Structures are given as C-alpha cells and as structure tokens.
Structure 1
Amino acid sequence: MLLALDAGNTNIVFALMKGREIRARWRIATDPRRTADEYAVWLRQLLDLSGYGLDDVEAVIIATVVPRALHNLEVLAEKYFNVTPLVAGRAPVEFGIAVDLPQPEAVGADRLVNAIAAHEAHPGDLIVIDFGTATTFDVIDYSGTYKGGVIAPGINLSLDALVAAAAKLPRIAIEAPEGAQVIGRSTEEAMHSGIYWGYVSMIEGLVARIKAEIGRQAKVVATGGLATLFDKHSEVFDAIEPDLTITGLGILYERSLT
C-alpha cells in the first residue's frame, strides 16, 4: 500500500492508500525537530490499531510546504519502510501541470497537488479553496493550467491575531453564531459574528471577483476541515472534497508508475 504524507504548516496528514481508496488517516502537529524515530513510534502504534503494520507500506509519497520537515520524513521512509520516498515536484514525480506564472517554482506543492486532483474530478474552469493555516484560492482553467490565485490568512490565524492584540477579548471557538444572527449582543457573540460572517463575506466576495476576472463559468471546489462549517450558511461551494490533497498524491504516485 501507499503511505501519502501531506506536510502543511500546522499539521502533517499520513494516509494509507490502496489505489485511490484511503484505508486509514492520521494527523500530527508539524514540528521540523521531530525525528524519524519519533514518527515511527507514533505511526507504528496507529498502524497496529488500524490492523496494519510497517510491512504493509510498499511506497511513500510526500508533499510539503515546510522544507525543514522533509529530511526527517525521508529518513522515516528509508529507515522504517525500506523505500526511497517520492517527493511531489521532484524527479521522477514532476507535477505534469502547466503553471502560467512568472515564477512557477514558487507555487506551494499542496496547491499544485490540489489542482491536479480537482481538474481530474471536475471538468471546466475551477476555483479551489483550501482552508488551512492560510486560506488559498487557486484558479485552474479548463485545460488544467494553473493560472494563479489568492492567499489570505486562515481563520484560526486571524482569530489568534485578534485575541493576542486585544487584551480584553476572550478565546472563542470557531462556529456559526447561534440562530445565524449578525448583530452580537455580547462580546463573545460579536466576536463569533465578526470572525464567522466576516470570513463568509471574504470567501463570497473573492469568489465573485475571481469569477468576474475569469469571464467564464467556474466551479468552486473546497477542501480542508472548515469547508463544511462555511457551507452551512453559504451557497458558494459547488463541491467539497475533504481529501483533495491526499487524492492528488495518489494520482501523482499512479503517474510515476507509468
């Protein structure tokens, strides 16, 4: 089976795949100081709890936007799975997607992997929104060419900055205001409204502007854990793909075999 690793700024997702089917997935906080041995102890226990073992992993593929974390993940694959890991964007696993930008090498691996998976699943022009540490809006045209996008602060990052900068504001959970009201009648309600509805408005506003700039119909595909939260009170998403990045890694691995 394939072990696909999506190493983001906040978390690393480990997914065990059979073909494109995800058999198990686990998440750990991203820490570039974490050694291969520490990953192995953690992962061995989770594999065992899911009915698998280290010997079930036949290949490893990694996408990362945290260069300092890559070395220890590569050592993990070589030392504990006895395989040379594939790294998205590095030979022999080239992205195989046209990037219509002045500096295509600067685009994050996760954004291109998302573009590959979204284009394969959804024909036509696309806007892919990924709710992570940052919230990214990526534009892929009908031919599969990556055209660029938008990077905005993630909602957790925005809330952290607000609480850190304002001494009297409390920490709150990120959730839709009760009853979907906008006008808060307490500090906490006002914060819920500002964070939630402010973010919904940003999403809807940016999508509208991006669509106007594209000049054609475009499907909006969302991924990331918070996509379903915003879908409750907005009709901006045409599809939600929770495992878009992992699916893209599975596609890249399949292509590497041909």
Structure 2
Amino acid sequence: MTYDLLIDAGNTRIKWALAAPGAVLGDWDAHGAHMHADAADFPSALAAALASCTGPGTGAPAVGRVLIANVAGQAVRDMLTAWLAAPQLGIAQPAIEWFASLPQRAGVRNAYRNPSQLGCDRFAAAIGAHALCPDKDIVVANCGTATTIDAITKDGTFLGGMILPGLGLMASSLAKNTAQLPQVKPGKLPEGFANNTDDAILSGCLAAQAGAIERAFELHQATECIISGGAAPYIAPAVPVPHRHVDNIVMIGLHAALRSA
C-alpha cells in the first residue's frame, strides 16, 4: 500500500500526517508534530510511522504522493527536501508537490485580488473548511503564531479575511514592549473583569481574538464557524458565536486537495 503524506510547515511547528488511499477526510493512519527546534526528529519519526502502517513482512514503506504547505520560508523548504530524499525515506522528487494558492482548486475559487499572494495555509484551510461544510457560508479561524480569519461562501468562493497577531504573540508583545508587564502564557479566560495584571493581559488578548472571530462571523452572516490551530483550545471557549473546534484544518485542506486531483 502507498500513502499520501501531508505536511503543514508553519512558523512554529512542522505537522505531518499519513492518509491511506480512499481514507475519510482527515482520517490519518499516523500523524505527528515537531517544533522547529527539534524538527530533526521528523525523518526518523516518519520512517517509523510508515513501517508501522505497512506492517511486518509487507515490503518497504511507500509514499505515493506528498503535498506540502510551507509558510516558514526557503530554509525550511530546503530542509524538508533534503529529509524526504534521505535514505530512510527515499521519496522521489517527482512525488512531491509544494502546495500554492491558485485561482481555483478542490471546489474553492480564490477571489483574492492577487490569488498567488494568499498564504498557502489560508487557502488550504479554506479548502478544508469548504470540504467539511459544503453549501454553507463559513468563517474559518486558524489560531497559530498569527491568527487568520477567513470567509468562504456556500458556493466555494474564498472572499478574503483578517490577519492579527496570535494569542501568544499578543501576550509576548505586551511583555516585551511595556515596562513591568509579565510574560503570560495562554490559559482559561478569567471570569468578569480581571483583578490582577496576568489575568488582565490574558483577558484582553483572548477578548481581542474572540471579538475578531465574532466580527467576521457577523460580517459574513455565516452559518458555520470552524476554529483550528494550536491556540484554539484557549480561544474557542471565549468565542460567543456558534462554532466547532477542528484539529489540523490546513492538513484537512491538503487532504481534500489531493483527493480532488
């Protein structure tokens, strides 16, 4: 059996998943995530996962297709290219596609003024959201290093969206640029008005994230809201509009893009 390998190389982490042919959207046989600092573990982790998926005595692990969304720059692209070609994986270059924002793919029309300038992770998230919720006006919020909030129409048109600093980046900016304010890690939203500085920072940052999602939902008159990304577990409880938390919306979009190819 050959597998589809999906890779989402973000600004903080490199995430990957293995999907068997014909698998349900978002149903991975194996998956993992590596912070950039320990990303060198990626090749061995993937090789072990492939060996486990194929099982003993079934021949060499095989990857048929690779689709990579990379927003982390050329250095990460070069690193991934070298790792995929390493002997323990041996994935041929023709099998690898670098996902890019196109005018149209997988049932989503990209209405960005310059379609190629749309971040490929945002386009993948839009494809994933539309695949999960066809025939609905959707807002998808991907809450990572940056928070992106985008609108997709029921007929699959990506309208555009918003970009703001992510939850951690907001808190870090306050700690770095304001005297005597502490660095605050994401956590549960305090009840009511905060009566200490740590909770006041957290409350303000969460309110800004949740308020932007609510604003986009109302502006789009959406019927569905998907929240994803590493900070989603902290932000989602503060969002006052109907929503659901979906893990790895970018990789779900990559999976949908490959299935439509």
Letter matched to residue 10 of structure 2: G
- Superposition pairs for residues 71-220 of structure 1, below 5 Å? 71-79=78-86, 80-83=89-92, 84-89=95-100, 95-96=105-106, 97-122=108-133, 123-177=135-189, 180-208=190-218, 210-211=219-220, 216-220=221-225
User: For 1:237 and 1:154, how far apart are their aligned partners in 2?
Assistant: 21
| 2:69 is the counterpart of 1:63 | yes
Letter matched to residue 201 of structure 1: G
Which secondary structure state, in structure 2, belongs to the residue aligned with residue 82 of structure 1? coil
* CA deviation profile, 1:125-163 (whole Å, cap 9, x unmatched): 111111011111111112111111111111111111111
Corresponding residue for residue 257 of structure 2: 252
Q: CA offset at residue 65 of structure 1?
A: 1.4
User: For 1:224 and 1:237, how far apart are their aligned partners in 2?
Assistant: 17
5+ residue gaps, structure 2, are none
Q: CA offset at residue 222 of structure 1?
A: 1.4
Contact 2:100-2:116 at 8 Å conserved across structures: no
* CA deviation profile, 1:29-76 (whole Å, cap 9, x unmatched): 237xx7xx7642454456668887971433321111123122222232
Which secondary structure state, in structure 1, belongs to the residue aligned with residue 235 of structure 2? helix
Identity of aligned residues (%): 24
User: For 2:130 and 2:196, how far apart are their aligned partners in 1?
Assistant: 44
Q: CA offset at residue 27 of structure 1?
A: 1.2
Change (3 A) 1:7 1:159: same
Contact 1:175-1:196 at 8 Å conserved across structures: no
Deviates more, 1:146-155 or 1:198-207: 198-207
TM, length-normalised to structure 1: 0.81
| 2:230 is the counterpart of 1:221 | no
User: For 2:53 and 2:184, how far apart are their aligned partners in 1?
Assistant: 34
Which secondary structure state, in structure 2, belongs to the residue aligned with residue 22 of structure 1? coil
Q: State how many pairs are aligned.
A: 244
| 2:22 is the counterpart of 1:12 | no
Which secondary structure state, in structure 2, belongs to the residue aligned with residue 174 of structure 1? coil
Change (3 A) 1:90 1:100: closer
Letter matched to residue 27 of structure 1: A
TM, length-normalised to structure 2: 0.81
Contact 1:7-1:30 at 8 Å conserved across structures: no
> 4+ residue stretches of structure 1 with deviation over 6 A?
48-54
Q: CA offset at residue 206 of structure 1?
A: 4.0
Which secondary structure state, in structure 2, belongs to the residue aligned with residue 102 of structure 1? coil
